[in-house]
């Protein structure tokens, strides 16, 4: 495994950056300049026709400070106060990144010194934003004021606020009913969810298999940094919005406001629907069960360039709101050079790395600059700790616009890719229609939704572990390049990359009252299973849960006994195991207790001395067991027990009710039976991944079950 995926190396980098920012040693290039003016700003000051002057002739600049102006006693108290103010969600996420007993905050969580700000304001500057993490503030200043401020003894450096002009957003074109009908006619029968015109995007990254497990992103919070948002669209109306802030107008309304340009809600609405939309038959996105915090960081009025200080402010705000993921479909390169795309220079890149050090998975577009004069990634996509996303078309080929790597220092980028061409998105102008859009702006939130699925199943994963899971299971993991990175995402494989895996044959439906009922499983894990945290949970007739520590035997085998129970007792149970890196998973593998299909069960039924057909020792009830294994590839075993001899038919159907394969159609004797389905249809051809039904018909009635085929 290469060092790219070792979090320890990144932790040291983030810690070093944090120390540098806290104590004022500087970040990026130019900190050591004698004038205190960074090279990028010097170039601007030396230009007589610099294009980014404000209307009054001033420039937007960052001022980086040398320290926090605190005594040791004040510093210690400030750190205690900062940790006490963390929200429960934020503290829980940050705890993943530190050892037990270590503080969850450091000097970069402290406010910028108020006295320093006041002294700069006294020179006539106008304050824009402050950044705790960077120990910096952005101002509007004249050229003379810039020189004066750079000479102050508490100022480390003055630099430009970078900007980025987003390519024009296409005018929404409503997807006509005829196109919707065509999709419906061609819709695969494999899934219980109707993805509408978003089906191809979901299947390309293998999301439906994850949804069939019961994973939807529930319990995960995605922070969206974008233009405004219109969350009343039908596919967004049920998405929980836990917080919202407009960094352009400094209020809490991120939807359209009087005076806003009509396009102010376009891009954010479309990216939000790509990650979290949910309207079956129209658009279902990867993380339709997730919550969001919405930060409006882009000003589209008068088509002025987007400025990075709002993005930094939005990032720090979303982290404090308890976001787990940041989805950012924007970037900056104006006035930067390619040499600055080294993962250490751009302000947004440094802020992003600091966010990752606090447990945020920061997912960012690679950019749409392939073939342009710039032709490279855009910041913060160059960051070592940023999860950078490229775009492919429906055939899996890199799009003509997706920014290529490498970074200036030679690292492979993007990290992974997903559909970014003709994606189905919500129409921001109509709450009940949909349109299509292209760009890495849409492959990015698509992957953000996949990240939410990974974190729902394994919430203890660090950002670098999430990145490893998605990269090492992508389509070209063995041969990454600077077009697609490690390849097209495979959500199902990524979700299962970390965490204990179970091989367990569920107990038969009918069990003897005498007991005990032996539950055994083989449990393995990529990094190792903690034998002290392998447990069996069971309950009786819906009562409270009981837990049993499973005994560790050789060969990764674990077992425990459920005590015997009275006749007609319903016993429900599931298994839980914890890996040595803290990832908890369950069997059934359906999102853990509380998710659909989350328990195995059986009914205790005492044997009769004489069975229904009058022969001792034969079963007195016909039953159909769960398919084993399930999910499966390429074959699974379907077992059933007959209480009496007679005609039997065992069929496999798809979700449209179409017959796929007949496994049994004959007269069978009473007793246990089993048939193997090899995943092929009646012609012998392999069928695709998806959910299939198996149905047992006997003289006593019909029994059914579901099984999931994973190719």
Residue 168 lies in a domain: no
Run of H or E residues at 130: strand 126-131
Query: 616 lies in which domain range?
Result: 610-711
What contacts 24+ positions apart, CB below 8 Å, involve 493-496?
493/206, 494/450, 494/453, 494/454, 494/469, 494/470, 495/210, 495/213, 495/215, 495/453, 495/454, 495/457, 495/458, 495/469, 496/589
Average pLDDT over residues 499-518: 85
Residue 76 lies in a domain: no
Confidence of residue 635 (pLDDT cuts 50, 70, 90): confident
Q: Cα–Cα distance between 278 and 288 in angstroms, integer?
A: 5
Q: Cα–Cα distance between 276 and 272 in angstroms, integer?
A: 6
Residue 94 lies in a domain: no
Q: Are residue 309 and residue 368 in the same domain, yes or no? A: yes
Q: Are residue 571 and residue 443 in the same domain, yes or no? A: no
Q: Are residue 629 and residue 710 in the same domain, yes or no? A: yes
Q: Are residue 374 and residue 356 in the same domain, yes or no? A: yes
CB of 283 within 8 A of CB of 425?
Answer: yes
Per-residue pLDDT, 93? 95
Q: Which residues contact 490 (CB under 8 A, 6 or more apart)?
A: 205, 206, 473, 474, 475
How many domains, in total, are found in the chain?
A: 4
Where a domain ends, among 495, 523, 556?
495
Q: Cα–Cα distance between 316 and 306 in angstroms, integer?
A: 18
The pair of three-digit structure tokens given for residue 352, joined into one six-digit string: 């992003």
Q: Are residue 254 and residue 331 in the same domain, yes or no? A: yes
- What CATH code is carried by the domain that includes residue 636? 2.60.40.4070
Q: Are residue 274 and residue 392 in the same domain, yes or no? A: yes
pLDDT score of 658 more than 80: yes
Q: Cα–Cα distance between 328 and 584 in angstroms, integer?
A: 29
Q: Are residue 128 and residue 186 in the same domain, yes or no? A: no
Confidence of residue 627 (pLDDT cuts 50, 70, 90): confident
Q: Which residues contact 160 (CB under 8 A, 6 or more apart)?
A: 38, 40, 41, 44, 52, 59, 60, 61, 62, 335
Mean pLDDT is highest, among 262-266, 558-562, 625-629, 699-703, for: 558-562
- Paired residues of 157 in beta bridges: 64
Q: Are residue 235 and residue 132 in the same domain, yes or no? A: no
- What CATH code is carried by the domain that includes residue 378? 3.40.50.200
The pair of three-digit structure tokens given for residue 138, joined into one six-digit string: 């952005």
Where a domain ends, among 575, 606, 637?
606
Residues in the chain: 711
- What CATH code is carried by the domain that includes residue 589? 2.60.40.1220
The phi-psi region of residue 234 (left if phi > 0; otherwise alpha if psi is between -120 and 50; otherwise beta) is alpha
> Is residue 512 classed as helix, strand or coil in its secondary structure?
coil
Confidence of residue 53 (pLDDT cuts 50, 70, 90): low
CB of 106 within 8 A of CB of 11?
Answer: no
Per-residue pLDDT, 14? 42
Which of 385-394, 407-416, 605-614 has the weakest average pLDDT? 605-614
Per-residue pLDDT, 711? 78
- pLDDT tens figures, 421-461: 999 999 999 999 999 999 999 999 999 999 999 999 999 99
Residue 3 lies in a domain: no
The pair of three-digit structure tokens given for residue 566, joined into one six-digit string: 């009275």
Residue 171 lies in a domain: no
Residue 278 lies in a domain: yes
CB of 273 within 8 A of CB of 285?
Answer: yes
Q: Cα–Cα distance between 447 and 401 in angstroms, integer?
A: 18
CA 677 vs CA 376, 681, 693: distances in Å = 50, 9, 12
Q: Are residue 693 and residue 544 in the same domain, yes or no? A: no
Confidence of residue 236 (pLDDT cuts 50, 70, 90): very high
Residue 453 lies in a domain: yes
Mean pLDDT, the chain, rounded, equals 86
Of 641 and 349, the one with more pLDDT:
349
Token pair 């012998």: residue: 684
Q: Are residue 490 and residue 599 in the same domain, yes or no? A: no
Q: Are residue 234 and residue 327 in the same domain, yes or no? A: yes
pLDDT score of 611 more than 50: no
Read off the DSSP letter of residue 379. B
CB of 299 within 8 A of CB of 291?
Answer: no
- What CATH code is carried by the domain that includes residue 126? 3.30.70.80
Burial class of 503 by CB neighbour count within 10 A (0 to 12, 13 to 18, 19+): middle
Q: Cα–Cα distance between 504 and 518 in angstroms, integer?
A: 12
Residue 689 lies in a domain: yes
Beta-sheet strands, E only, within 420-569: 423-426, 434-437, 501-503, 510-511, 517-524, 535-540, 546-549, 551-553, 557-562
CB of 162 within 8 A of CB of 336?
Answer: yes
Q: Are residue 125 and residue 250 in the same domain, yes or no? A: no
């Amino acid at each position: 495994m290469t060092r790219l995926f070792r979090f320890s190396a990144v932790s040291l980098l983030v810690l070093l950056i944090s120390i540098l920012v806290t104590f004022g040693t500087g970040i990026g290039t130019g900190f050591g300049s004698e004038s205190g003016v960074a090279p990028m700003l010097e170039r601007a000051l030396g230009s007589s026709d610099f294009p980014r002057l404000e209307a009054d002739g001033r420039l937007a600049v960052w001022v980086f400070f040398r320290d926090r102006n605190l005594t040791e006693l004040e510093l210690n108290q400030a750190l205690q106060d900062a940790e006490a103010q963390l929200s429960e969600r934020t503290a829980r996420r940050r705890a993943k990144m530190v050892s037990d007993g270590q503080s969850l905050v450091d000097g970069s969580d402290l406010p910028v010194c108020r006295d320093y700000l006041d002294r700069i304001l006294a020179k006539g500057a106008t304050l824009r934003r402050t950044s705790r993490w960077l120990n910096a503030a952005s101002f509007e200043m004249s050229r003379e004021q810039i020189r004066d401020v750079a000479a102050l003894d508490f100022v480390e450096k003055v630099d430009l606020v970078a900007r980025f002009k987003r390519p024009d957003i296409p005018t929404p074109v409503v997807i006509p009913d005829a196109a919707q009908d065509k999709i419906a006619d061609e819709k695969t029968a494999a899934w219980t969810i109707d993805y509408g015109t978003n089906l191809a995007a979901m299947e390309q990254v293998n999301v439906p298999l994850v949804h069939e497990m019961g994973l939807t992103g529930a319990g995960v919070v995605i922070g969206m940094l974008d233009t405004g948002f219109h969350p009343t669209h039908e596919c967004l109306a049920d998405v929980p919005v836990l917080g919202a802030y407009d960094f352009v107008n400094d209020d809490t309304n991120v939807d359209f406001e009087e005076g806003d340009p009509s396009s102010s809600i376009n891009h954010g609405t479309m990216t939000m629907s790509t990650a979290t939309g949910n309207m079956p038959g129209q658009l279902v996105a990867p993380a339709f069960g997730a919550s969001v915090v919405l930060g409006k960081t882009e000003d589209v009025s008068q088509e002025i360039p987007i400025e990075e200080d709002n993005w930094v402010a939005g990032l720090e705000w979303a982290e404090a709101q308890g976001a787990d993921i940041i989805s950012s479909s924007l970037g900056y390169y104006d006035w930067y050079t390619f040499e600055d795309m080294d993962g250490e220079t751009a302000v947004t890149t440094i802020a992003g790395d600091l966010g990752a050090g606090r447990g945020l998975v920061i997912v960012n577009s690679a950019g749409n600059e392939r073939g342009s004069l710039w032709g490279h990634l855009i910041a913060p996509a160059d960051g070592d700790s940023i999860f950078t996303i490229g775009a492919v078309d429906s055939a899996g080929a890199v799009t003509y616009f997706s920014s290529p790597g490498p970074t200036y220092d030679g690292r492979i980028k993007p990290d992974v890719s997903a559909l970014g061409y003709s994606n189905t998105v919500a129409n921001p102008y109509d709450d009940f229609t949909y349109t299509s859009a292209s760009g890495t702006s849409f492959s990015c939130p698509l992957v953000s939704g996949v990240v939410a699925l990974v974190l729902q199943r394994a919430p203890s994963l660090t950002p670098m572990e999430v990145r490893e899971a998605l990269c090492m299971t992508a389509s070209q993991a063995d041969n990454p390049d600077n077009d697609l990175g490690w390849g097209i995402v495979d959500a199902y494989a990524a979700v299962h990359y970390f965490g204990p895996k179970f091989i367990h044959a569920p107990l038969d439906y009918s069990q003897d009252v005498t007991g005990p009922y032996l539950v055994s499983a083989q449990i393995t894990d990529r990094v190792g299973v903690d034998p002290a945290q392998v447990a069996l949970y069971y309950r009786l007739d819906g009562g409270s849960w009981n837990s049993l520590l499973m005994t560790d035997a050789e060969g990764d085998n674990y077992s425990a006994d459920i005590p015997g129970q009275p006749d007609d007792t319903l016993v429900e149970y599931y298994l839980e195991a914890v890996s040595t890196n803290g990832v908890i998973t369950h069997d059934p593998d359906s999102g853990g207790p509380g998710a659909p299909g989350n328990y195995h069960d059986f009914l205790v039924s005492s044997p009769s001395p004489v069975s229904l057909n009058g022969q001792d020792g034969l079963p007195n009830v016909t039953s159909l067991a769960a398919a084993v294994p399930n999910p499966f590839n390429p074959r699974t075993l379907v077992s059933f027990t007959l209480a009496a001899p007679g005609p039997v038919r065992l069929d496999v159907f798809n979700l449209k009710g179409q017959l796929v394969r007949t496994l049994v159609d004959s007269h069978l004797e009473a007793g246990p039976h089993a048939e193997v389905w090899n995943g092929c249809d009646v012609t012998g051809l392999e069928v695709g991944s998806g959910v299939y039904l198996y149905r047992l018909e006997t003289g006593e009635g019909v029994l059914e079950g579901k099984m999931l085929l994973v190719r």
